[in-house]
Amino acid sequence: MKSFVTHTGILAPLDRANVDTDAIIPKQFLKSIKKTGFGPHLFDEWRYLDHGEPGMDLTQRVKNPDFVLNQDRYENATILIARENFGCGSSREHAPWAIEDYGFRVILATSFADIFFSNCFKNGLLPIVLSGETIDRLFESTYTNNGYALTIDLENQSITLPSNEKISFQVDTFRKHCLMNGLDDIGLTMQHSESIKAFEKTYYQKNSWLL
Protein backbone atom coordinates (compact mmCIF):
# COMPACT_ATOMS: atom_id res chain seq x y z
CA MET A 1 0.00 0.00 0.00
CA LYS A 2 1.12 3.56 -0.82
CA SER A 3 2.03 5.46 2.32
CA PHE A 4 0.44 8.81 3.05
CA VAL A 5 2.32 11.54 4.88
CA THR A 6 1.42 14.88 3.33
CA HIS A 7 -0.43 15.75 0.18
CA THR A 8 -1.10 18.98 -1.69
CA GLY A 9 -3.72 19.05 -4.38
CA ILE A 10 -6.64 20.72 -6.13
CA LEU A 11 -10.20 20.10 -4.91
CA ALA A 12 -12.99 18.72 -7.08
CA PRO A 13 -16.46 19.52 -5.71
CA LEU A 14 -19.01 16.69 -5.98
CA ASP A 15 -21.98 18.52 -4.56
CA ARG A 16 -24.15 15.56 -3.54
CA ALA A 17 -25.19 13.74 -0.40
CA ASN A 18 -25.47 9.93 -0.13
CA VAL A 19 -23.06 9.18 -3.00
CA ASP A 20 -23.35 5.39 -3.11
CA THR A 21 -20.74 2.87 -4.20
CA ASP A 22 -22.95 1.82 -7.15
CA ALA A 23 -22.53 5.37 -8.46
CA ILE A 24 -18.81 5.38 -7.68
CA ILE A 25 -18.24 2.24 -9.73
CA PRO A 26 -21.21 0.60 -11.48
CA LYS A 27 -21.72 -3.14 -11.27
CA GLN A 28 -20.63 -4.08 -14.80
CA PHE A 29 -17.05 -3.19 -13.86
CA LEU A 30 -17.03 -5.48 -10.81
CA LYS A 31 -16.53 -8.50 -13.03
CA SER A 32 -12.81 -7.82 -13.15
CA ILE A 33 -10.64 -10.14 -11.08
CA LYS A 34 -7.96 -7.44 -10.74
CA LYS A 35 -7.51 -4.52 -8.35
CA THR A 36 -6.43 -2.04 -10.99
CA GLY A 37 -7.89 -0.30 -14.01
CA PHE A 38 -11.10 1.01 -12.38
CA GLY A 39 -10.15 4.72 -12.57
CA PRO A 40 -11.42 5.30 -16.13
CA HIS A 41 -14.86 4.09 -14.96
CA LEU A 42 -15.05 6.10 -11.74
CA PHE A 43 -18.60 7.61 -11.61
CA ASP A 44 -19.16 6.06 -15.07
CA GLU A 45 -22.89 6.76 -15.31
CA TRP A 46 -22.47 10.41 -14.32
CA ARG A 47 -19.26 10.98 -16.23
CA TYR A 48 -20.35 9.66 -19.61
CA LEU A 49 -23.56 10.03 -21.57
CA ASP A 50 -23.28 6.63 -23.25
CA HIS A 51 -23.54 3.28 -21.47
CA GLY A 52 -20.20 1.97 -20.31
CA GLU A 53 -19.03 -1.63 -20.47
CA PRO A 54 -15.65 -3.13 -19.55
CA GLY A 55 -13.07 -2.99 -22.31
CA MET A 56 -14.66 -0.10 -24.24
CA ASP A 57 -12.43 2.29 -26.18
CA LEU A 58 -12.51 5.30 -23.88
CA THR A 59 -11.60 7.75 -26.63
CA GLN A 60 -14.88 6.93 -28.36
CA ARG A 61 -17.05 7.61 -25.33
CA VAL A 62 -19.35 10.59 -24.95
CA LYS A 63 -18.42 12.65 -21.89
CA ASN A 64 -21.06 14.47 -19.88
CA PRO A 65 -19.80 18.08 -20.03
CA ASP A 66 -21.80 19.01 -16.91
CA PHE A 67 -20.11 16.48 -14.68
CA VAL A 68 -17.54 18.00 -12.37
CA LEU A 69 -14.63 15.73 -13.32
CA ASN A 70 -15.09 16.61 -16.99
CA GLN A 71 -14.52 20.31 -16.39
CA ASP A 72 -11.05 21.58 -17.31
CA ARG A 73 -10.56 23.43 -14.05
CA TYR A 74 -10.82 20.19 -12.04
CA GLU A 75 -8.79 18.08 -14.45
CA ASN A 76 -5.83 17.65 -12.12
CA ALA A 77 -7.82 17.43 -8.88
CA THR A 78 -6.54 14.95 -6.31
CA ILE A 79 -8.86 15.85 -3.41
CA LEU A 80 -12.56 15.08 -3.67
CA ILE A 81 -15.08 16.98 -1.58
CA ALA A 82 -18.68 15.80 -1.11
CA ARG A 83 -21.61 15.98 1.28
CA GLU A 84 -22.84 13.56 3.96
CA ASN A 85 -22.92 9.74 3.96
CA PHE A 86 -20.35 9.37 1.19
CA GLY A 87 -19.76 5.75 0.08
CA CYS A 88 -23.04 4.28 1.30
CA GLY A 89 -24.44 1.01 -0.02
CA SER A 90 -22.48 -1.93 -1.33
CA SER A 91 -19.24 -3.00 0.41
CA ARG A 92 -17.39 -3.20 -2.93
CA GLU A 93 -13.75 -2.22 -2.42
CA HIS A 94 -13.76 -1.51 -6.15
CA ALA A 95 -15.07 1.94 -5.09
CA PRO A 96 -11.90 3.09 -3.27
CA TRP A 97 -9.84 1.24 -5.91
CA ALA A 98 -11.52 3.37 -8.60
CA ILE A 99 -11.11 6.61 -6.65
CA GLU A 100 -7.45 5.92 -5.98
CA ASP A 101 -6.78 4.70 -9.50
CA TYR A 102 -8.30 7.91 -10.90
CA GLY A 103 -5.73 9.88 -8.90
CA PHE A 104 -7.50 11.02 -5.74
CA ARG A 105 -5.65 10.72 -2.44
CA VAL A 106 -8.08 12.46 -0.08
CA ILE A 107 -11.88 12.63 0.30
CA LEU A 108 -13.49 15.33 2.42
CA ALA A 109 -17.12 14.92 3.54
CA THR A 110 -19.39 15.58 6.49
CA SER A 111 -19.76 11.82 7.04
CA PHE A 112 -18.88 8.49 5.44
CA ALA A 113 -20.55 5.07 5.41
CA ASP A 114 -18.74 2.62 7.72
CA ILE A 115 -17.55 -0.05 5.27
CA PHE A 116 -16.37 2.43 2.65
CA PHE A 117 -14.52 4.45 5.30
CA SER A 118 -12.65 1.38 6.46
CA ASN A 119 -11.90 0.27 2.88
CA CYS A 120 -10.24 3.63 2.08
CA PHE A 121 -7.54 3.16 4.70
CA LYS A 122 -6.56 -0.19 3.16
CA ASN A 123 -5.81 1.53 -0.12
CA GLY A 124 -3.75 4.58 0.74
CA LEU A 125 -6.77 6.90 0.56
CA LEU A 126 -7.46 9.32 3.39
CA PRO A 127 -11.14 10.03 4.14
CA ILE A 128 -11.54 13.10 6.37
CA VAL A 129 -14.71 14.02 8.25
CA LEU A 130 -15.26 17.78 8.58
CA SER A 131 -18.12 19.81 10.02
CA GLY A 132 -20.98 20.87 7.74
CA GLU A 133 -19.88 24.47 8.13
CA THR A 134 -16.29 23.73 7.03
CA ILE A 135 -17.48 21.63 4.09
CA ASP A 136 -19.83 24.45 3.01
CA ARG A 137 -16.96 26.91 3.16
CA LEU A 138 -14.61 24.67 1.17
CA PHE A 139 -17.26 24.12 -1.52
CA GLU A 140 -17.72 27.88 -1.77
CA SER A 141 -13.97 28.51 -2.01
CA THR A 142 -13.59 25.79 -4.64
CA TYR A 143 -16.35 27.31 -6.77
CA THR A 144 -15.01 30.85 -6.53
CA ASN A 145 -11.27 30.17 -6.89
CA ASN A 146 -9.81 28.41 -9.91
CA GLY A 147 -7.25 25.80 -8.90
CA TYR A 148 -8.23 25.97 -5.22
CA ALA A 149 -5.76 23.68 -3.45
CA LEU A 150 -5.19 22.36 0.06
CA THR A 151 -2.29 20.75 1.85
CA ILE A 152 -3.14 17.77 4.03
CA ASP A 153 -0.65 16.86 6.74
CA LEU A 154 -1.57 13.48 8.24
CA GLU A 155 1.07 13.48 10.95
CA ASN A 156 -0.12 16.80 12.38
CA GLN A 157 -3.74 16.09 11.40
CA SER A 158 -4.12 19.45 9.77
CA ILE A 159 -5.38 20.95 6.52
CA THR A 160 -3.73 24.13 5.31
CA LEU A 161 -5.81 26.49 3.21
CA PRO A 162 -4.25 28.80 0.57
CA SER A 163 -4.68 31.62 3.10
CA ASN A 164 -2.41 29.62 5.45
CA GLU A 165 -5.33 29.07 7.82
CA LYS A 166 -5.15 25.60 9.36
CA ILE A 167 -8.07 23.27 10.04
CA SER A 168 -7.47 20.26 12.26
CA PHE A 169 -9.09 16.86 11.76
CA GLN A 170 -9.48 13.62 13.71
CA VAL A 171 -8.10 10.26 12.66
CA ASP A 172 -7.89 6.96 14.49
CA THR A 173 -4.37 6.37 15.84
CA PHE A 174 -3.99 2.83 14.50
CA ARG A 175 -5.27 3.71 11.05
CA LYS A 176 -3.02 6.78 10.95
CA HIS A 177 0.00 4.66 11.84
CA CYS A 178 -0.76 2.11 9.10
CA LEU A 179 -1.44 4.77 6.48
CA MET A 180 1.66 6.84 7.28
CA ASN A 181 3.87 3.78 7.04
CA GLY A 182 2.01 2.05 4.21
CA LEU A 183 1.62 -1.01 6.42
CA ASP A 184 -0.13 -4.19 5.40
CA ASP A 185 -2.70 -5.13 8.09
CA ILE A 186 -2.21 -8.84 7.48
CA GLY A 187 1.50 -8.66 8.22
CA LEU A 188 0.71 -6.86 11.48
CA THR A 189 -1.93 -9.38 12.55
CA MET A 190 0.35 -12.30 11.65
CA GLN A 191 2.70 -11.06 14.36
CA HIS A 192 -0.05 -12.08 16.79
CA SER A 193 -0.58 -15.57 15.41
CA GLU A 194 0.33 -17.14 18.74
CA SER A 195 -2.43 -15.12 20.44
CA ILE A 196 -4.89 -16.28 17.77
CA LYS A 197 -3.91 -19.92 18.34
CA ALA A 198 -4.24 -19.51 22.09
CA PHE A 199 -7.66 -17.93 21.65
CA GLU A 200 -8.78 -20.81 19.44
CA LYS A 201 -7.74 -23.38 22.01
CA THR A 202 -9.93 -21.94 24.76
CA TYR A 203 -12.70 -20.90 22.40
CA TYR A 204 -13.23 -24.34 20.88
CA GLN A 205 -13.06 -26.05 24.26
CA LYS A 206 -15.95 -23.88 25.35
CA ASN A 207 -17.85 -23.94 22.05
CA SER A 208 -17.12 -27.52 21.04
CA TRP A 209 -20.14 -27.69 18.66
CA LEU A 210 -18.30 -25.34 16.33
CA LEU A 211 -15.46 -27.79 15.73
Binding site for another protein (CB under 8 A): 16-18, 20, 22-23, 26-28, 30-35, 45, 51, 54, 83-85, 88-93, 96, 111-115, 118-119, 122-123, 172-174, 185-186, 189-190, 192-193, 195-196, 199-200, 203, 207-210
- Least Cα distance to 130 among 90, 81, 93, 89 occurs for 81
CB of 176 to another protein, least distance (A): 11
Q: Cβ contacts of residue 133 below 8 Å, gap of 6+?
A: none
Query: Of the two residues 51 and 63, which places its CB atom closer to another protein in the complex?
Result: 51
Q: How far is Cα 185 from Cα 192, in angstroms, rounded to an integer?
A: 11
SS percent in the chain: helix, strand, coil, step 5: 40, 20, 40
Query: Of the two residues 9 and 47, which places its CB atom closer to another protein in the complex?
Result: 47
Element (H, E) at 99: helix 94-102
CB of 141 to another protein, least distance (A): 17
Query: Of the two residues 9 and 87, which places its CB atom closer to another protein in the complex?
Result: 87
Cα dihedral 56→71→129→37 (10° resolution): 20
Query: Of the two residues 54 and 182, which places its CB atom closer to another protein in the complex?
Result: 54
